């Protein structure tokens, strides 16, 4: 490719890098997108990891935030091949006694199965679902004065609580408390931490608003659609380009980095102010993940029938058990019964496996940088709720934290969120600045999940970073999300 000058260069092609590149290209600029691997997508890639014909998502699998992203919803991704599949139930949470709590599209149906906590659930979730369009714009971006302060204030009161505190204040039944714990555990930190309720509330709202979908054919479908749209606008991209220095880049007016602080310091640290560099050096990464993909001879035989209708399964039994597991992991230990997040895409997408066969995807949290093989612990947890599961395994593929980081350099020590999203790094990630997307060097911006609103396939970090760069460097406005 001709390395002519570009208006902007984007380094890294995860969902945020793609969103940043598209936003700049839509504004009429010439943009070059660079990717270190041979395939665009970052955490959105899919591949035959186990046996021929079995398509596995290498990292992200289920995409409630992608389907409801205020930015992605402005893009013609269906016209570029993206098709979402919505399982009948977003998620199921089985218990050891053979029953399960479920997150279904209907708020009332979900609440009705929570016994004495029915009214408490309705009181908590109904206003959130009603006000989500207002909350989304404020919650999925940098800290700012919300346009609907009452709605955002009501959300904030609950979101800033620890998951354990909210459960103790709101729920009494094992079913409601367990379902809630599984949602909040997506925060990848101890459930006693401040603001761990935020992700649980958002995921529950997504389940009721539309569902938790999966892209037909694999998560690569999201990356392919975004790339296709970017190219249709005139955007250029190159793969197999590992950037370790600014000298490798063609000349441009702005560079946006879909990388975490560790890589950013390597590439451009010499250009930063002492204060900004000091802040990046103290940026904190969170727990890592250990992941297993299986090729199966049949569907997972869960005792709870509801699980066969859900794309996502949370395995951890009670709130108390999940809380203990996450706390132990955060202290550098490996629990015997880890919280396991499992997806079973082939039940709803027949393109993922040969006829009559199935795939399954799962991970548990581990200490950052852990080399411990958690395969047996994960499989024991699945077997606990689905006796006979191991008999259906045809092949498996595992990835520890080092292998996750080798696959995607943004997963430092296996941290798939680009840094812990606790109260200290919720809105000040990666540094305390008027704009979290600006670096201290003119024309250099960070657009990864290490900026607000953090991890998840939504593109909002990339959109907001590009919006900032457009205003600063080019005196242009990005398109509105309204």
The phi-psi region of residue 61 (left if phi > 0; otherwise alpha if psi is between -120 and 50; otherwise beta) is alpha
Q: At CB < 8 A and 24+ separation, what contacts does 265-273 make?
A: 267/11, 267/243, 268/439, 268/441, 268/444, 271/246, 271/439, 271/440, 271/441, 271/444, 272/439, 272/440, 272/441, 273/440
pLDDT beyond 70 at 378:
yes
**Closest residue by Cα to residue 262 from 116, 409, 476:** 409
Residues in the chain: 482
Tokens representing residue 21 in the block: 């590149």
CB-hemisphere CA count at 13 Å for 60? Answer: 31
Supply the mean pLDDT for the chain: 96
Any idea which architecture 85-213+286-403 has in CATH? Alpha-Beta Complex (3.90)
Q: How far apart are the first and last CA of the chain?
A: 37
pLDDT value at position 1? 42
Confidence of residue 4 (pLDDT cuts 50, 70, 90): low
Tokens representing residue 197 in the block: 């309720």
**Closest residue by Cα to residue 126 from 137, 150, 102, 110:** 110
Do 8-82+215-284+409-473 and 85-213+286-403 come out as alike in CATH topology?
no
Question: How many whole angstroms separate alpha carbon 372 and alpha carbon 165?
Answer: 31
Any idea which architecture 8-82+215-284+409-473 has in CATH? 3-Layer(bba) Sandwich (3.50)
CB-hemisphere CA count at 13 Å for 275? Answer: 6
pLDDT value at position 357? 98
Residues 6+ apart with CB under 8 A from 188: 286, 287, 289, 365, 415, 416, 417, 420, 421
Strand partners, 103: 91
Q: What is the pLDDT of residues 243-273, one digit of tens each?
A: 999 999 999 999 999 999 999 999 999 999 9
Q: What is the pLDDT of residues 64-121, one digit of tens each?
A: 999 999 999 999 999 999 999 999 999 999 999 999 999 999 999 999 999 999 999 9
Q: Taking a C-beta distance cutoff of 8 angstroms, is the pair 304, 99 a contact?
A: yes
pLDDT value at position 3? 55
Residues 6+ apart with CB under 8 A from 377: 334, 335, 336, 337, 338, 364
Strand partners, 312: 91, 343
pLDDT beyond 70 at 148:
yes
Q: What is the mean pLDDT of residues 176-196?
A: 97
Cα torsion 268, 269, 273, 277 to 10°: value is 130
Q: What is the pLDDT of residues 275-312, one digit of tens each?
A: 999 999 999 999 999 999 999 999 999 999 999 999 99
Q: Taking a C-beta distance cutoff of 8 angstroms, is the pair 211, 61 a contact?
A: no
Q: What is the pLDDT of residues 387-423, one digit of tens each?
A: 999 999 999 999 999 999 999 999 999 999 999 999 9
Pairing of strands 340-343, 31-34: unpaired
Confidence of residue 437 (pLDDT cuts 50, 70, 90): very high
**Closest residue by Cα to residue 444 from 465, 425, 458, 427:** 465
pLDDT beyond 60 at 377:
yes
Question: How many whole angstroms separate alpha carbon 343 and alpha carbon 313?
Answer: 6
366-375 burial, b at 16+ Cβ within 10 Å, e below that, comes to bbbbbeeebb
Phi and psi of 83, rounded to 5°? -130, 120
**Closest residue by Cα to residue 17 from 457, 404, 403:** 457
pLDDT value at position 482? 64
pLDDT value at position 146? 74
pLDDT beyond 60 at 351:
yes
Domain boundaries, the chain: 8-82+215-284+409-473, 85-213+286-403
Q: Taking a C-beta distance cutoff of 8 angstroms, is the pair 256, 318 a contact?
A: no
Phi and psi of 96, rounded to 5°? -65, -25
Tokens representing residue 38 in the block: 């041979």
Radius of gyration in angstroms for the set of CA atoms belonging to the chain, rounded to a whole number: 21
SS3 453: coil
Question: How many whole angstroms separate alpha carbon 94 and alpha carbon 314?
Answer: 7
Q: Which letter does DSSP use for residue 438 in this model?
A: B
């Amino acid at each position: 490719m001709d390395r002519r000058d570009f208006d902007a260069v984007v380094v890294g092609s995860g969902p945020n890098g793609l969103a940043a590149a598209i936003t700049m290209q839509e504004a009429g600029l010439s943009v070059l997108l660079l990717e270190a691997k041979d395939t665009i997508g970052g955490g959105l890639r899919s591949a035959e990891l186990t046996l021929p014909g079995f398509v596995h998502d290498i990292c992200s699998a289920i995409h409630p935030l992608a389907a409801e992203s205020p930015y992605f919803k402005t893009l013609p991704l269906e016209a570029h091949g993206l098709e979402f599949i919505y399982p009948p139930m977003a998620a199921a949470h089985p218990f050891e006694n053979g029953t399960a709590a479920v997150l279904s599209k209907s708020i009332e149906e979900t609440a009705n199965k929570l016994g004495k906590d029915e009214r408490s659930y309705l009181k908590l979730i109904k206003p959130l679902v009603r006000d989500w369009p207002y909350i989304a714009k404020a919650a999925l971006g940098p800290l700012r004065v919300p346009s609907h302060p009452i709605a955002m204030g009501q959300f904030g009161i609950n979101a800033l609580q620890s998951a354990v505190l909210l459960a103790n204040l709101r729920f009494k039944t094992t079913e409601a408390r367990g379902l809630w714990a599984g949602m909040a555990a997506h925060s990848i930190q101890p459930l006693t931490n401040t603001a761990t309720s935020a992700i649980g509330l958002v995921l529950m709202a997504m389940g009721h608003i539309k569902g938790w979908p999966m892209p037909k054919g694999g998560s690569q479908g999201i990356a392919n659609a975004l790339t296709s749209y970017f190219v249709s606008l005139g955007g250029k991209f190159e793969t197999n380009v590992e950037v370790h220095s600014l000298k490798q880049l063609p000349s441009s007016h702005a560079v946006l980095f879909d990388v975490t602080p560790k890589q950013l310091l390597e590439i451009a640290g010499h250009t930063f102010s002492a204060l900004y560099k000091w802040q990046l050096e103290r940026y904190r990464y969170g727990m890592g993940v250990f992941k297993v993909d299986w090729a199966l001879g049949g569907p997972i035989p869960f005792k709870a029938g509801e699980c066969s209708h859900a794309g996502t399964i949370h395995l951890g039994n009670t709130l108390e058990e999940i809380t203990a597991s996450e706390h132990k992991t955060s202290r550098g230990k490996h629990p015997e019964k880890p919280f396991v997040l499992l997806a079973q895409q082939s039940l709803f997408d027949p393109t993922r496996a040969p006829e009559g066969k199935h795939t399954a995807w799962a991970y548990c949290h581990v200490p950052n940088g852990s080399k411990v093989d958690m395969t047996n612990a994960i499989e024991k947890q699945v077997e606990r709720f689905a006796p006979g599961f191991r008999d259906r395994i045809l092949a498996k593929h595992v990835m520890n934290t080092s292998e996750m980081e080798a696959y995607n350099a943004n997963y430092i020590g296996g941290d798939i969120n680009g840094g812990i999203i606790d109260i200290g790094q919720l809105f000040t990630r990666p540094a305390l600045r008027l704009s979290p997307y600006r670096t201290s060097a003119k024309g250099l911006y960070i657009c990864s999940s290490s900026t607000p609103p953090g991890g998840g396939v939504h593109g909002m970090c990339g959109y907001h970073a590009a919006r900032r760069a457009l205003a600063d460097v080019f005196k242009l406005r990005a398109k509105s999300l309204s």
